[in-house]
Structure 1
Amino acid sequence: MRPRKNNRHLPPCVYEKHGAFWYVKKGKWTRLGNDLHAALVEYARLSAAQGSGMPALIDRAWPEITRDLKPSTVKQYRYAADELKRVLVEFEPGQVTPRVVAEIRQHYAATPNMANRIISFLRNVMHYAVENQIIEANPCVGVRRLKEKRRDRYLTDAEYRAIRAAGSDNLRPIIDICYLTGQRINDILGIRLADITDEGIRFTQQKTGARLLIEMTDDLRAAINEAKALRRSVRGLTLFCTMRGGRRYSYATVRDMWHTACQRAGVDDAHLHDLRAKAITDAKNQGLDPQALSGHTTEAMTNRYIRARDTVRAKPPSIRQLSN
């Protein structure tokens, strides 16, 4: 991934002399260090400080790229930005070619979802560079996405009961409300007490912005009452909150509780997000409206979501006619 013809182990403007590495710019020699790794780290710091190089470009483009994005997408892009600043530490924007982009994609091919996020973020960075006349063309154009494997895990009723039974008092109502509403975990943790009425629970989905009302049922009311019965701070505004300070539960906290319950129950490869998949799939099998429950904008999107987890049932032919 280094475009130099000679000394390919060194980034641009870096030379090895008298047992040390030096950064040479406009006739000025700046000592980076004796060790190559330490020299590269110092080189990245100098490049960013001088406002040049890919790390600096990524930092400049960051506010523009993330301005209107959802928090979950910003989190993914933060990881992508850190990875690219590390991988492209010795590159100037004009040295990032389609071949370099393809090599980055291949480097992360073992995790195709993350590889696509990294290339997507890099495409936005280079688009910013084109708009600001830093480079002539976006090198990410024409580099195809990797095929992402769709998760097809379906949580059975027995597994659901086992995990719920093994869960803590704080986790059980979260599991039930995740399933009964079919919403994403971050939307569940964001339920405010003011969102709960006799009609049901009102949601504004964090990911899509969709607004929906999940109608109140006896099961949902029982789960809400169980959550309200937990010890909580009087200052808490959300249904699920910490005892101290009344802050909403973090995703990491609930994820750890879920993993502990799964281990105790002996259920492998179960994610918190599988509760949403189970809810939407079960709603369809029970003759309900899975698209309304999921908040998807199209029926096709809901059908693809269900098809990956649903089981096709087929009735076998009779063998009696063969014995006549």
Structure 2
Amino acid sequence: MRPRKQNRHLPPCVYQKHGAYWYVKKGKWNRLGTELHSALIEYARLTAAQGSGMPALIDRAWPEITRDLKPNTVKQYRYAADQLKNILVEFEPGQVTPRVVAEIRQHYAATPNMANRIISFLRQVMHYAVENQIVESNPAVGLRRLKEKQRDRYLTDAEYRAIRAHASGNLRPIIDICYLTGQRISDILAIRLADISDEGIRFTQQKTGARLLIEMTDDMRAAIDAAKALPRKVRGLTLFCTMRGGRPYSYYTVRTMWNTAAERAGVQDAHLHDLRAKAITDAKNQGLDPQALSGHTTEAQTNRYIRARDTVRAKPPSIRQLSN
């Protein structure tokens, strides 16, 4: 089966067409419904009848686990679900023991972030199994998380200028707005024209739900004007949109443009998300409020975020008195 290019948040064999969701198996189309949540429940009911193993349990638990999650988290859990289905394809729920869970974690130990995500998802699947009296206990409870390596890359001013100089005309305003607002790329690409006023740009962060206004500056106004001035056959509702269809840019498109610009500039290990780190760190060094800019709920979150990228400055002692 070829990997999906669109609708990656949907389970296998589920497609959206003509305003409804469909389960397609062996050429037969079964209508699941028009609402995603109810469609997933119907999908779980249909697939549950096809087997009682772990893959079937994962499909049954999926609607409950993902009901109130953010789209980005759903995509990550979709990957985790697919990985677990492959690993546990021959397991019944009762055969998943703490030792099996520990072995899965060890298998992904080289990528601790993904390992923790997979175990977290498995823990919720087994919690669903406990609640529905499929198993008596949750084998994933009590397993410690792997220590995740925190990225400490700081993008220097020279590197920023070099990447921007080699960026396409479509990418440059995105780079500038990312830096000037310090917001996550998903929130940058979701900026609507209606969110922009003489006061600034209003954000409702997709990850946290935090609402904030980044005040307008001359630099920000110039970046906004540059984005609006780009040639567009169709003007979309968002500040950044594709030339032909006027649709918002996808994260993957912008990441590809960024990687190309960084490669041409000769800047190594530069991630698109490093722009947010640079903005927050520079805001602190310029005497501004980094917590307000980041939208973090606590000062500790912001301080931890900055310390990984900031450099402590120290003055050396004088040597003059030693010369006398």
Range into which the TM-score falls when normalised by the shorter chain: 0.7 to 0.9
Match of 2:139 in 1: 139
Residue 50 of structure 1 deviates from its aligned partner by 2.8
Match of 1:246 in 2: 246
Match of 2:173 in 1: 173
C-alpha separation in 2, matches of 1:185 and 1:50: 40
Paired residue type of 1:109: A
C-alpha separation in 2, matches of 1:242 and 1:150: 33
Contact 2:53/2:89 (8 A) holds in 1: yes
Paired residue type of 1:139: P
Match of 2:125 in 1: 125
Residue 48 of structure 1 deviates from its aligned partner by 6.3
Contact 1:233/1:241 (8 A) holds in 2: no
C-alpha separation in 2, matches of 1:49 and 1:86: 19
Paired residue type of 1:128: Y
Contact 1:200/1:213 (8 A) holds in 2: yes
TM alignment of 1:257-272, pairs within 5 A: 257-272=257-272
C-alpha separation in 2, matches of 1:275 and 1:167: 14
C-alpha separation in 1, matches of 2:246 and 2:67: 29
Residue 156 of structure 1 deviates from its aligned partner by 0.1
Is 1:79 the counterpart of 2:58? The answer is no
Match of 2:303 in 1: 303
Paired residue type of 2:113: N
Match of 2:293 in 1: 293
Contact 2:234/2:244 (8 A) holds in 1: no
TM alignment of 1:102-251, pairs within 5 A: 102-251=102-251
C-alpha separation in 2, matches of 1:82 and 1:183: 30
Paired residue type of 1:171: L
Is 1:60 the counterpart of 2:44? The answer is no
For each residue in 1:49-80, what CA deviation from the matched residue of structure 2 results, as whole angstroms up to 9, or x when unmatched? 53300000000000100000001111110000
Residue 319 of structure 1 deviates from its aligned partner by 1.5
For each residue in 1:225-268, what CA deviation from the matched residue of structure 2 results, as whole angstroms up to 9, or x when unmatched? 00000012434000011122210000111001001100110000
Match of 1:20 in 2: none
Paired residue type of 1:179: Y
For each residue in 1:110-135, what CA deviation from the matched residue of structure 2 results, as whole angstroms up to 9, or x when unmatched? 00000000000000000000000000
Query: Identity of aligned pairs, percent?
Result: 89
Contact 2:193/2:237 (8 A) holds in 1: yes
Contact 2:232/2:242 (8 A) holds in 1: yes
Report the secondary structure of 1:263's partner residue. helix
C-alpha separation in 1, matches of 2:200 and 2:312: 33
Moved over 6 A (4+): none
Match of 1:22 in 2: none
TM alignment of 1:272-283, pairs within 5 A: 272-283=272-283
Paired residue type of 2:197: T
Paired residue type of 1:70: K
C-alpha separation in 2, matches of 1:103 and 1:298: 36
Tell me, which stretches of 5 or more residues in structure 2 are unaligned? 1-46
Q: CA RMSD in A?
A: 1.0
For each residue in 1:68-110, what CA deviation from the matched residue of structure 2 results, as whole angstroms up to 9, or x when unmatched? 0001111110000000000000100000000000000000000
C-alpha separation in 2, matches of 1:237 and 1:297: 29
TM-score (normalizing by structure 1): 0.85
Paired residue type of 1:64: E
C-alpha separation in 2, matches of 1:215 and 1:234: 28
C-alpha separation in 1, matches of 2:115 and 2:304: 22
For each residue in 1:181-202, what CA deviation from the matched residue of structure 2 results, as whole angstroms up to 9, or x when unmatched? 0000010000000100000000
Paired residue type of 1:168: S
Match of 2:256 in 1: 256
Residue 307 of structure 1 deviates from its aligned partner by 0.3
C-alpha separation in 2, matches of 1:231 and 1:251: 21
For each residue in 1:23-50, what CA deviation from the matched residue of structure 2 results, as whole angstroms up to 9, or x when unmatched? xxxxxxxxxxxxxxxxxxxxxxxx9653
The count of residues paired between Structure 1 and Structure 2 equals 278
Q: Alpha carbons of 1:113 and 1:145: their partners in 2 closer, same or farther (altered >3 Å)?
A: same
Paired residue type of 1:154: Y
